[in-house]
Structure 1
């Protein structure tokens, strides 16, 4: 069977000795021929927003068509690093499953599963904790930022190690990441090297699949990225928003007093954010968009972009609502995904336990 084009290219790089998947030399050969495998996770906290979709979920759909082994985890263990209402969390897990499916993630092509249903995530996380120094974790910006808002739990401090376990548990070779996640992937790479140096070559060194879309900013404050937790209701476009809500949010989007559409993220961040959204929605470059938008005033341009977003998100919202009513199907998807994930994880973790000396 012919490999899909994207996977064929990766496979060829692996055979030729892609340095990103391990150091050179005969000891690394066993790592370099690992099957190309993609892993990523998303927290079940609130409905995904437009930035999540354009920055991650849209590419997730494409990746499942380019790789034969793709795992997407709803990382509920990570979600409890901050307080969660149990009933809300249970529903959020199902809602996130429905949202992934509505966006186009196909359970026949991707393994969709709930992280906590595969015990090896936490077990491998403990082993990797014992290989990770506290100063290494203290340097990560997320700990510095989040710990300032509350006392900061041990779970919050060590969750980057659990992220490393999530990835390495499946011997993942590729991880889609945004700019703000690069340091966490670097920790995963360092952790894999530390394990390999301590116990022998085992884990491939996963490489980043960097997204091409520009970061989507808040519609009310373009100096910060769009966020689920933004207290300003008009700042974030959720995938579950109605067309009326979307149009209102774009109409109220912060721009400036210049009516012309240009792209200058430093001097005109608000208008540039609209252009970035337009670019991510259509695949057009920012220069092409600016050229095509000559003669259009900013107020008109806001509505033009809003209409594009409505057209893109309406079928997703409608499918999400349909899937919400089929709880049995959503649970079946998660149960099936967890079974697939366990089969992969148990074999890897068994080998880890033998290498560490547990068995």
Structure 2
């Protein structure tokens, strides 16, 4: 039976956080049993984050090792570096020619980041969604597991597919967002109104998948809550709500169970227990990570094989695109 395809990728722009794990990696391992999966380390996207070349290389191997340590099977899933498949950049340029500039400039993430870095703004940030679209449609992915913060980019991707298909004939699959079992949007520990980010300059705002137990405990104990000292899950206590969501995401307990368990215990007991839950869940991943990251030869074998498999699919699709738009065949 032919399986539907999935494409997803994570930037190597910092240490992956528990938000990356709960929102993406933990679901990747389930998806590979049901779908034909292409999981990318999107190192070309990472260039827009300002990391230096040593960080870019180190984080790339770190993310790859965490993919594997989290349970991704390189024989079941195609795992590769975005920069190793040149068709991504080639298709992006072609899509540039049919993308309205006004639509790009209205992207919420672009407007937000351009306001934050008005004195240091580059075209890569504006064109980011077009490369994301190319990433997805090169593989005729039917589903893309992304969060609500990427919904606008997905809508642009669908618009570009429909426009290209209208102009040149049916070529690409129109992708759909895939909802996941773990749908919680994990927020910053220091600013619960903002998403937890691996590029957060405040290291107390996120928990890395590689943080040791003492550091995890420190970060959770210093996590923002409130002065109400009333253990509940509501929109008026965003900090506590975020911590409860982390707890339920890791344990599978319901919100009601957690609230009833700690209602009379106070924040201190809950934070201490949460730190233990997170550290215990991350330990086997960290142990496996240490094995993978220490064997650079095996990592190279895996990412080279993944890139070869990805190129076979991507280059075939790009050749079809070339023919449709009138390029001379290579």
What is the TM-score normalised by the length of structure 2? 0.95
Structure 2: gaps spanning 5 or more residues: none
* Candidates 11, 21, 29, aligned match of 1:53: 21
Where does residue 69 of structure 2 map in the other structure? 102
1:179 is matched with: 148
The alpha carbon displacement at 1:260 in A equals 3.6
1:75 matched to 2:42? The reply is: yes
Match 1:132 to one of 83, 90, 99: 99
In structure 1, the residue matched to 2:309 is 340
CA contact (8 A) 1:38 1:175 kept: yes
Q: What aligned pairs does 1:239-250 form with structure 2 within 5 A after superposition?
A: 239-250=209-220
Q: CA deviation at 1:315?
A: 1.2
> Is structure 2 residue 160 aligned with structure 1 residue 191?
yes
Give the counterpart of 2:236 among 260, 267, 270: 267
The count of residues paired between Structure 1 and Structure 2 equals: 325
State which drifts further: 41-50 or 279-288: 279-288
Corresponding residue for residue 25 of structure 1: none
- Once the two structures are TM-superposed, the CA of residue 53 in structure 1 deviates from its matched residue by 0.8
Q: Which residue number in structure 2 is paired with residue 327 of structure 1?
A: 296
Deviations 1:9-64 (A, max 9, x none): xx8xxxxxxxxxxxxxxxxxxxxxxx510000111111100111111111111111
Cα distance in 1 for residues equivalent to 2:187 and 2:276? 18
Tell me the secondary structure at the aligned position of residue 202 of structure 1: coil
Task: Give the deviation of 1:210 after TM superposition.
Answer: 2.3
Q: Report 1:117-156 matches (<5 A).
A: 117-148=84-115, 149=117, 150-156=119-125
Q: In the TM superposition, what are the counterparts of 1:170-249 in structure 2 within 5 Å?
A: 170-211=139-180, 212-249=182-219
Displacement of 1:132:
0.3
**1:247 and 1:124 mapped to 2: Cα distance?**
45
Deviates more, 1:165-174 or 1:150-159: 150-159
For the Cα contact (< 8 Å) 2:144–2:176, is it kept in 1? yes
Task: Give the equivalent residue in structure 2 for 1:308.
Answer: 277
CA contact (8 A) 1:43 1:78 kept: yes
SS at match of 1:111: strand
Distance 1:297 1:82 in 2: 39
Change (3 A) 1:260 1:110: same
C-alpha separation between the residues in 2 aligned to 1:194 and 1:220?
42
Deviations 1:181-217 (A, max 9, x none): 0110111100000000000012111000123422111
Asked whether the 8 Å contact 2:13–2:199 carries over to 1, the reply is no
Residues 84/218 of structure 1: CA separation in 2 closer, same or farther (3 Å cut): closer
2:13·2:49 contact (CA, 8 Å) conserved in 1? Answer: no
Deviations 1:304-325 (A, max 9, x none): 1111101101111122122111
Residue in structure 2 matched with residue 6 of structure 1 by the alignment: none
Deviation at 1:90, TM superposition (A): 1.6
Moved more, 151-160 or 272-281: 151-160
Counterparts of 2:37 and 2:10 in 1: how far apart (Å)?
Answer: 14
Partner SS for 1:81 = helix
CA distance in 2 between partners of 1:341 and 1:290 (Å): 46
How far apart are residue 232 of structure 1 and its match? Answer: 2.1
Q: Retained in 2: the 8 A contact 1:259–1:299?
A: no
SS in 2 for 1:231: coil
Would you say the 8 A contact 2:15–2:208 is kept in 1?
Answer: yes
Once residues 259 and 81 of structure 1 are traced to their aligned partners in structure 2, the CA distance between those partners, rounded to angstroms, is 41
**Which consecutive residues of structure 1, in runs of 5 or more, have no partner in the other structure?**
4-10, 12-34
Q: What are the superposed Cα offsets for residues 150-203 of structure 1, whole Å, 9 maximum, x if unpaired?
A: 432112111110110000001111000101001101111000000000000121
In 2, Cα distance between equivalents of 1:116 and 1:97? 14
What is residue 24 of structure 1 aligned with on the other side? none
Alpha carbons 1:75, 1:115 under 8 Å: kept: yes
Name the residue aligned to 2:228. Answer: 258
Distance 1:269 1:278 in 2: 14
* 1:36 and 2:4 correspond: yes
Offset from partner CA, 1:226-284 (integer Å, 9 cap, x none):
111222222210001001111111111121233342101x2111111111111111223
